[in-house]
A and B are shown apart, each in its own frame.
Chain A
Amino acid sequence: MTVDLGVYLSGLRLRNPTILASGILGDKAQLLRRASESGFGAVTTKSFTYNPREGYKTPIVAEVKAGLLNAVGLANPGYKMMRKIISEARINGVPIIVSLAGSNIDEFHRMAIYADESGADAVELNLSCPHVEKMGMEIGQDPNYVARLVGDIKGSITIPLFIKIGLTDNYMEVVGRALDKGADGVTAINTIRAMAIDIYAKKPILSNIYGGLSGPAIHPIAIRITYDLYSEYRATIIGTGGVEDCKDALEFILAGATAIGIGTSISKKGLNIAKDIVRGIRKYMENEGVKKLEDLIGYVHKN
């Protein structure tokens, strides 16, 4: 039986549902290219900010049980570099999603237009970085701000617009308002603000004290949020959080995700994880008699 793993993500054709998640590797063209060559269906850049950022001092990661804490600090060369990076990163027609982190609506607006002009296939607004002030959670949980932001940008760009949300109490309202204003989809979820202490040093490990928790620990939370967003809005969702194998990926798709963001597990398994997941999904589809992966999106919501 031949099976079709391709999906349409708000008009973008992906050869398979795996997406390199934002924040992992992607501020250098050669790494995005390598991810595309390794089999990802699309790649997301690290978040660009208006001005270049060095990022935080090390330690910027802490390996914890069931996950990883990071506080890289939105290190990136500034949004003006994105044109060069996009053109050098493009290979085999694999879509490039540009992640943006602005400190105000004007910055977001200018960067989104520049991304569109620079050949990005979609933009993802990072509304949920848990470790940089004024560029993260504060804005992502303000429904009025998000609505204004999305409405403002949507009228100025021609490519799909995603918002990346974190774990907040009011994500349903925030996403609802964003969708009303024309957001094409949601990336759910970002890392969750957390910390780790070394008991012998008797100090927080990260130089920034706080970081974002990712990996298996957040997977069931991301599944729940994906399920809720699909159930309420039939939203287009990039399910992200703790995907380590094809079963984690399929769980997201059944909950309602169209595509799957993969990040933290790359530190254990390398970029070949995309191929492994795709192979596993294909086998599952053959065994379960599913011809088109798209038929599985949100399947748990069917009677």
Chain B
Amino acid sequence: MSIGYRDEAIGGESSYTVGILKRIYVHNRNLKSLYIELNHWLDIKPGQFLMVWIPGYEEIPISPSYSDGELIRLTVKGVGDTSKKLINMNMGDRVYVRGPYGTYFKIDDRDKYLLVGGGYGAAPLIFLAHKLVEMGLRPKYVEGVKSISEQLFIKEAESLGLEATLVTEDGSSGIRGLVTDYIVSILDNFDSVLACGPTPMLDKVLDLCRSRGINCQLSYESIVKCGIGVCGSCTLGNTGLLICFDGPVLDINTLNKWRYRGSD
């Protein structure tokens, strides 16, 4: 069943915006990008997240890999009940989203940016790449994955005209190794690093940027329950920072102010 109308047409407000699954891109059996049409325009900035709900399942946070306000793309790896349900949805099925929440990548058009995505953490960075290109900027895009089968957006970055590098842990394609080792050799060519991925990877990027005096903005992942800064579930390490409210995108100055030393 399609919505067939805009929510605004019937007036009123609701907690959730309804989305209809319009298209699926299969990266691999367990990793898919879902193109979802919303019944209500949402102003989502790269790095922000939505709380995504399918009735009967838990609500989970997802940072879109693209949005034009009416069509969003969610790149989802099947790891829990909800994400497995999401990647096995059928065309026309509904999802319910609220948000967007949290901070986003702040862009200064004088800077030379290096985008670094780890695994499906690449999602908000390819969204950001689209925005930067619209602004006339040419960031470098680096994606680190375990193996070629998990590659996500290298071709999309290239189609935007960007220099894109794939790093695989098993050497099945691109450069072999860890993305954090690869970027060491190129970091000095950039003013600022924008990264998203698993926490150990981001902690390593933070260390590299601190030691070289390079700016960075890092988008941290966490279990997020309320999404609005009240339940206290999503603190970053031992700091008092809430990933859903102060983050998910945290810049190096904020992390330094809180003396963040990495999560254990």
Contact = CB atoms under 8 A, between A and B. Distances in A.
A205 B235 contact: no
B229 A270 contact: yes
A23 B233 CA distance: 12
Contacts of B227: 61
Interface of A: 23-28, 30-31, 33-34, 46, 55, 57-65, 68, 70, 72, 75, 196, 198-201, 203, 205, 207, 263-264, 266-267, 270
Contact of B96 (A23, A33, A198): A198
Interface string B209-245: 0000000000000000111111111010011101001
Contact of B235 (A31, A70, A72, A203): A31
Contacts of A65: 13
Contacts of B232: 24-28, 31, 46
Nearest to A198: B16
B53 interface: yes
Nearest to B60: A58
Contacts of A207: 58
B240 A33 contact: yes
21 contacts: A24-B232, A46-B232, A57-B58, A58-B53, A59-B51, A60-B231, A62-B15, A63-B15, A70-B230, A72-B225, A75-B233, A200-B16, A200-B18, A200-B94, A201-B53, A203-B55, A205-B15, A264-B230, A267-B226, A267-B245, A270-B229
Contacts, number: 93
B37 to A, nearest CB: 14
A201 B235 contact: no
Interface in B16-72: 16, 18, 39, 51, 53, 55-56, 58-60
A289 to B, nearest CB: 37
Nearest to B61: A58
Contact of A64 (B15, B56, B240): B15
A265 B18 CA distance: 26
B96 A200 contact: yes
Nearest to B53: A59
A201 B230 contact: no
B189 interface: no
A126 to B, nearest CB: 16
B98 interface: yes
Interface string B116-127: 000000000000
Contacts of B225: 55, 58, 60, 72
A36 to B, nearest CB: 10
B14 interface: yes
Nearest to A23: B230
Contacts of B60: 58
A249 B130 CA distance: 46
Contacts of B39: 200
Determine which residue in A27, A55, A58, A65 has the highest number of CB atoms from chain B within 10 A of its CB, and name it: A58
A61 B58 contact: no
Given A58-B58, A267-B228, A196 B15 contact: yes
Q: Which 9 A-B pairs have the closest CB atoms?
A: A34-B240, A58-B59, A25-B232, A267-B228, A30-B240, A203-B55, A59-B59, A61-B226, A201-B55
Interface string B68-103: 000000000000000000000000001010100000
Contact of A25 (B53, B55, B56, B230): B230
